[in-house]
Structure formats: structure tokens, C-alpha cells
Structure 1
Amino acid sequence: MNHCHLLDIEFAYGGQKQTITPVLLQDEDEVILVDCGYPDFVPLLEQAVVRCGFRLGSITKLIVTHHDMDHMGPLAALKRAFPHMEIIAHELEAPYVEGKKKSLRLEQAESTFDALPSEAKPQAEQFIRFLQSIEPVAVDRTVADRERLPWCGGIEIVHTPGHMPGHISLYFPASRTLIAGDAVVIEQGKLDIANPQFTLDLEEAVRSVRRLLDYNVERLICYHGGCFHGDVKKALRQLVHEYTS
């Protein structure tokens, strides 16, 4: 790739300070955004993009790693504002992004609602309404595992299910960089599974981490945690060991 910009976006959520890290990629012909935040994040996203010397309107493609609300929240708003922006998602994830299938996160929240104590139900109801408010959007291009996209020196699609069935990570062989999405996160300097208690298939998620060991990764970028500092393969092996021993 020619340029890779980490868009660290800080915000308050649930009374706590949080950071997400969408990624902006650039080559001679394309400006590609990977994931885009929560539904009301267009202004925050715009500020982050401008800091890197771009405009939102200069983005030609938007790759969605999966359909969670913090990864595709403002997708429909961005597509309305910039119709030329090509939306890309894994073939298994596309029906959820497009609203043809109910959000799996919404199904999860609804299925666990009755078992909650009464004092927890108001917050759960609010969360369900929030999930219901996520606007679907048409996917312009679907991708499959090991598909090679021609931009930024070549992007290999790595299907990393578990967190979501159609979750993808992106591997750049030329720079040995992996954009992990939520396949792994960084917490207190260590790699971990993203929200293991809410991961739809934890065993599958661990298998996906093991699969990442097949790639020669020197730079690992996580949506939650940013760029990992340390021996990537050693950290991935340790994470697999923690969940399988």
C-alpha cells in the first residue's frame, strides 16, 4: 500500500472514554475506508479524515469487516452523501448489512432479554431500540475468503468468523500488515478476543485467531486498540493457548 492512516477516534460511550480505529488506505487511484463507527459518527469521522489530509468525499470504497453497530453505524448516511462510495462486505455478511436478514446482534439481545433481572431490562430495551435504529444499506460488492483485491498493492480477504459469521480481516502481503477488525483486540497491551461473552461462536473465533498464524504479519491493526506493539505471532500463539488450554 502507498499510505495507511489509523483514524483514532475518541468518544464517550456509556459514561466511559473509548477509542475506535478505522483505517484509511490510499494508493494512486483509490482511497479506501475500513469500518466507520457508530451511527452518529459522520462528524467525528470527517474530523479524523481531514486530519490526514483527505475529505470524506474523496473516499472511493468502504470495506465493512462485519455488521456490528460500531463498524457500520453511519454507512447509510455516508452512501446518501457520497453515492459514488462503493460498499464492500463478505458474502455472508451482506444480507445483514442490507437488512435482508435481522442483525445477529439484535437477535442475541432479544433472545437474552427475558432472562435478565428486572432492573437490567430498561437498559437492555434501550440497547435493542438502538440496534433497531441502524439503517441498512445496499452492498455494492461482495467478497469471499482468500479473494485478492487489486488495490493498495494487493489486499487478501481473510475470513475470520466467530465474532460474526461473515467477519473479515484484511492482509497486505507487500507490507505484511493485517487489519484485524474485531478478530482480535488489544487490551492493556495484550491481544484478546473481542467481547468473548458476546462473541457469537467463541470456538470459531479462536480458530480464526489460529488461522491468522498462517500469515506473515509484522504489523497488526485492531479496531479496538490500534496498532499492536510486540511480536505479533508470539502474541497470537499465546492468545490461542489461553483459550484452548
Structure 2
Amino acid sequence: MNRVHMLEIEFEYNGQKQIITPVLLQDEVDTILIDCGYPDFLPLLEKAARRHGISLQSLTKVIVTHHDMDHIGSLAALKRAYPHIEIIAYELDAPYVEGAKTSLRIEQAKSTFNDLPDEAKPQAEQFIRFLQSIEPASVDRSVHHQERLPWCGGIEIIHTPGHMPGHISLYLPTSKTLISADAVVIEQGRLEIANPQYTMDLEEAIRSVQRLLDYDIEQLICYHGGLFIGNVKQALQHLISAYKSDVK
């Protein structure tokens, strides 16, 4: 029996209530976590898993969709707590997860720093220091576009760049479920591009949404927004059309 569990985690960040939705996949052999939140989120992950009757002691693998701070922040802590787990990342993103390359978010923040007004620079410096504090973690397995992993009924890797060059989404063919990570998010019931102002390549992000239309999706889970309610294909097409109209 293959199961998909959404770990809804509510917290406060910068004085605002936020919710993220890591996902646990489970079968008779494996328990696989998709993304792991900000630094110090291990207790929140463990509590969210327990709500589904799952102990993270049973965790066998962690797949990280990209190296943003809210997706890999607790990865090193997870590995320390559960050293047997296998960490999996996309081939382009693995060097950033491991710390062999400087985070693209750090480079992005530094590249815009001199254009900021003086009063905004202390906060920007604090943000850069926070990004620099994120612990790297060794990647045990790199994956590539359209690779099909045999666990939990099958997991297909979909390279969905734009938000970041090495961003991936995951497709579960047995349940026709797409785990979008930050390829799309839900805002006020609609599908949107995640933080367009910080998206590395907005045109590429739209092409990635277009790529998702190739899949038969009955259930869409967004890291920011959780489970999408509605016609997935129609909502994806509407999002693409909205951005094409803006370009015109």
C-alpha cells in the first residue's frame, strides 16, 4: 500500500503566520520525506509526522526539490538525528545542497545589495548572514530529468527550472499525484508562480508549468498552499495564459 501524507506545518516567520507542506511517501519498505523546512524545524517535522501515526525513525530517504532555505534548512539536522537516511537531490542542485557551490540566493541577495537604500541594507545583511548559516549536507544520490525511482509505487523526477535552475517536481503515477514544490503555489485558491520577484528566470518558470501539462494529474500538492482543490489542468492552463497576456 502506497500512501501520501501531507505534513502541514504552521509557524511564524518575520511576524507573519505561514504554512508549509512537506510530504511523506510511505510503503511497506520506505518512508520518504520531500523537503524539510527551515533550520530548527526537526521537532515540527517529527510532530507533524506523529499526527499521521508515523515516527521519523522509519525515515529511509529525503528528497530535496531545491536548495532554498525553507526546503533544506533542517536537512543536516535530519541526517544527524537519523544517520541512516539517504539524501537525494537533482544533479544541478546537489553542489549547492552540499555547499560545494555558493547558494544562488546568497548571490542574488549580494547582487542587489548596492542598489538598496541605506536604511534597507542592515536587514539585507542579516538575511545574507542567515542564508550563509544554513548547514550543507552530503547528497547520497543525484537524479536527472525523467528518472523513475522505484520506491513507493514509483516517483518520476520532473526538472522544473525557473524558481531555481535545479528545481524539481515529483510525479507519482500510481495515484496521479504531482508534488510541485515551488513550481506553483496556491494563493487565494488560485495557482500562481512562487514569489515572481525572486524567481531566477520567470520565462523558464512558465515553461516548466507548461511541461506539467504533459502529466495526467488528479492531485496537486504545493509546498506553499497544500492540496489544490479544482481542475488541475485547467488551473495550470489559466496560469500560463495569465502570464502570456502580461508579456504581451
TM-score, length of structure 1 as denominator length:
0.99
**Distance in 2 of aligned mates of 1:36 and 1:53:** 18
TM-score, length of structure 2 as denominator length:
0.98
**Distance in 2 of aligned mates of 1:154 and 1:31:** 13
Q: Post-superposition shift, 1:23? A: 0.2
Counterpart amino acid of residue 122 in structure 1: P
SS at match of 2:178: strand
Counterpart amino acid of residue 154 in structure 1: G
What are the equivalent positions in structure 2 for 1:195-210 lying under 5 Å apart? Answer: 195-210=195-210
What are the equivalent positions in structure 2 for 1:74-89 lying under 5 Å apart? Answer: 74-89=74-89
Q: Post-superposition shift, 1:43? A: 1.0
Q: Post-superposition shift, 1:244? A: 1.0
Paired position in structure 1 for 2:9: 9
**Distance in 2 of aligned mates of 1:4 and 1:173:** 12
Counterpart amino acid of residue 63 in structure 2: I
Paired position in structure 1 for 2:96: 96
Deviations 1:73-130 (A, max 9, x none): 0101111111111000000000000000000011001111110011111111111010
Q: Post-superposition shift, 1:60? A: 0.3
What are the equivalent positions in structure 2 for 1:219-238 lying under 5 Å apart? Answer: 219-238=219-238
SS at match of 2:209: helix
Q: Post-superposition shift, 1:174? A: 1.3
What are the equivalent positions in structure 2 for 1:14-163 lying under 5 Å apart? Answer: 14-163=14-163
**Distance in 1 of aligned mates of 2:112 and 2:186:** 27
What are the equivalent positions in structure 2 for 1:169-208 lying under 5 Å apart? Answer: 169-208=169-208
**Distance in 2 of aligned mates of 1:52 and 1:126:** 36
What is the root-mean-square deviation of aligned Cα atoms in Å?
0.7
1:217 aligns with 2:186: no
1:239 aligns with 2:242: no
SS at match of 2:151: coil
**How many residue pairs are counted as aligned between the two chains?**
245
Residue ranges of structure 1 left out of the alignment (5+ in a row): none
Identity %: 73
Q: Post-superposition shift, 1:198? A: 0.1
Q: Post-superposition shift, 1:161? A: 0.4
Structure in which a larger fraction of residues adopt helix: 2
Counterpart amino acid of residue 22 in structure 1: P
Q: Post-superposition shift, 1:168? A: 0.6
